[in-house]
Amino acid sequence: MDQKRPGKPDATSRCLSVSCGHPAGYRLASCGKWSIFLKTEVSFRPSQDNCTIPHATTTKDDKTCSITFFFQSYPETASSSKAQMRIENQGFTWLATDDNAIPEPYTGRLRPLVANLSLFQRWKEACQNIHGSKCSQIFRGTPKISPRVIDVHQRCLVQAREIDTWVCLSYVWGTTNTTRLLQSNLHTLLTPGSLSATVLPPIVEDALQVTRGLGEQYLWVDSLCIMQDHAADKTKFVSQMDSIYALATVVIIAATCIDANSHLPGVRPHSRQQKQEVFNVRNLSLLQSLDPVTGMKVDLRTGRAAAYLGTTVWDTRAWTLQERFLAARSLVFTAEQVFWECEEAFWCEDSFREFPHILPDPHRTSLCRGELNLSWNSDYITFDHYYRVLLGEYSTRALKYDSDALNAFSGIIRAFERSMGLEFFWGMPCAFLESALSWGNRALTPRPHRGDSTSNGHPKSPVFFPSWSWVGWKSDGSTKIDNQNLTMAPLGVEFYRLSDDGKAMKHLKQVGRFSDKVDLLAEGSSIPDRSSRATDVSRDSLPSPSNNTQVNLSSVLCFWTASTHVTIAFEDRSSASLGSRDGESSAGWGTTISQGTTYMEAAWFHPPTLGPGETRKTVEVIAIAQNRGDWDGGHINNGAIGIMVISWKDGIASREGFAWIAILDWAALKDRVWKLIVLG
């Protein structure tokens, strides 16, 4: 099996072959537990962007296994004789180190079972000194704040000043009953010594020790720094979540945490178990690596070893996504090793990497960033990438309380708003509403419109989720919500919402410019042209509130667009029909659209639900977006129109589904009318 190694133009690679036997041309490199035979001839070749590195074989306990040798010289080591060696064996990695040499970049380092906390402080200082402003604040415009924090020396709560720095803890609460900040104990927890080791949950106590080791005085933990039974206090600090995490000097990520009674591995004795093996090959010492991503499937496009953190409880919780995304510097605690991750580096306990101008190791990948490895820039292309990736990732994560569906994403939204100067409405970027409304998932269920509790379990005012926003729906946990490219040219729909004071309508201006030459909304119909049809929405256009409706007028989206009625039918996906091409079934092609005797192909992003016993029904569809590309493997060519299936109650429409149909099919639909839509 070959592996691909991304290289650097100024590096040189050497590849050695290894054999189980002792054939001519090979010499014995080591005897005993391992028998390794190195080929006498060494070949050199320039490094390329993709260089194939051959596997080798060894014998151990009469069993054959594979080993890969990586030899690479770097500008820092200059001489090829000092090239560093890395060997991978069935999920284990061995890093070369010279017992008598001063540590050099990429060489191995023995990781103690109890972590050396001063190493973490050196990482922090190295990042601050080497990377400077590149890692100090990812998002411009983040306002200074004064949060409530834990003083790790006085062991009590204090009010931080704007000039103070702090460390944040990202962990999973779980269901354990641990000390939390309430109105009743606020005064007590402000008293020095009140947060003793016996009072704090184990995960917080360990984080307190790490904060001290980092040379920092203040630690922010949500359960202890926000009053959990005080609505105003909670609203205030949840709205500052982007600043709290973005301004943190370091964010401690408890990747193995399952609840507040968990520990940070390595902080206490006996919390880590794996010892590193060391063996010698001639004059070279080999040290076993503790890299959890070794031997796991890595997405070569994104560089993410999803098989590792993707298996942890921490990485399945909705709240932790924004905590990891907003962090400029992260200290990630895994089962057997601690990793440092910032905008410019990725360091670990078992090898020396914290050097100026060090080249990234192509065989180590980011544990956290994954598809978020793209550097943040305040432009629409970068924003489009991050928004769609984050939305997809967030949609698969778990929430204990549905009422937190927007809160757990609000830190990300505010970071976007401040960095990009964009406005969001129910999790959707107002400047790109046409494309943003084209989100979909083939396994969606409506989120309860009424949230009955906050995340601390105490009753609060009802939370109404609009059907047009992804916030109002939840996936099955395994299928991500998808969205088309936000920067696609718009159709020309003008959106409005109720102003904050409820007295007027606010126009939500779109960034993109629609084509003046083609009017797809009206093409092939009797709808008036742009110059003579209505587009404005007044406050009087909204229906009067009804006692029976679950929709709050403050959450409705109003606009004029083309509307018509079609029949949708669910077909047997195993049959070769419109819902199946060449006998191959597809989840997106099980529901067909027709109007009279005209049938059309549709790519369903969000299939509507039919009632019990229903196989077909007539529904209203409205035009929402356009995409000039091909869809669903070429079934729709030369562009598509995004249509939303809607239903009405008490003068307010609700989203029921979403699909793409060919532009030509849209133009052929009859009885299209120009209609005001009040979408709740």
Instruction: Give pLDDT tens digits for 327-361.
Output: 999 999 999 999 998 888 888 898 887 877 665 55
Instruction: Read off the tokens for 330.
Output: 């992260």
351: DSSP letter? B
Tell me the Ramachandran region of residue 603: left when phi exceeds 0, alpha when psi lies from -120 to 50, beta otherwise. beta
Span 530-546, average pLDDT: 88
Instruction: Find how far residue 673's CA is from the centre of its chain.
Output: 41
**Ramachandran bin of 629, using left for φ above 0, alpha for ψ from -120 to 50, beta for the remaining angles:** beta
The segment with the largest mean pLDDT, out of 142-151, 277-286, 424-433, is 424-433
pLDDT over 90, % of the chain? 44
Tokens of 283: 């004059």
* pLDDT greater than 90 at residue 237: yes
Q: How confident is the model at residue 6 (pLDDT cuts 50, 70, 90)?
A: very low
Instruction: Give the pLDDT score at 85.
Output: 44
**The residue type at 337:** Q
d(CA 242, CA 407): 11
| pLDDT, tens only, 93-136 | 555 554 445 566 667 888 999 999 999 999 999 999 988 888 87
**3-state secondary structure string across 384-411:** HHHHHHHHHHHHCCECCCHHHCCHHHHH
pLDDT of residue 280: 75
Q: Is the pLDDT of residue 368 over 70?
A: no
Residue 60: predicted pLDDT: 40
Identify the band that residue 308 occupies on the pLDDT scale cut at 50, 70 and 90: low
Which residue did the predictor score with more confidence, 451 or 408? 408
| pLDDT of 467 | 95
For residue 486 the two structure tokens come to 């936000």
Separation of CA 529 from chain center: 42
- Name, in order, each residue with C-beta under 8 angstroms of 515's C-beta and a sequence gap of 6 or more: 489
The pLDDT tens digits for 441-453 are: 888 888 875 544 3
Judged on CB neighbours under 10 Å (0-12, 13-18, 19+), 116 is: middle
Instruction: Provide the 8-state DSSP code for 370.
Output: G
Highest mean pLDDT among 133-142, 222-231, 436-445: 222-231
pLDDT at position 433: 95
Angle made by CA atoms 466, 471, 476, in degrees to the nearest 5: 125
The Cβ of residue 83 has, within 10 Å, a number of other Cβ atoms equal to 18
User: What pLDDT shows up at residue 509?
Assistant: 92
Q: Which residue has the tokens 């192909």?
A: 601
How high is the mean pLDDT of the chain? 77
Confidence of residue 439 (pLDDT cuts 50, 70, 90): very high
pLDDT of residue 33: 38
Strands (E), 61-110: 63-73, 84-89, 92-97
Confidence of residue 376 (pLDDT cuts 50, 70, 90): low
Residue 415 exposed, middle or buried by CB count within 10 Å (0-12, 13-18, 19+): buried
Distance between CA atoms of 173 and 186, rounded to whole angstroms? 20
Is the confidence at residue 286, as pLDDT, over 80? no
Tokens of 558: 């109003």
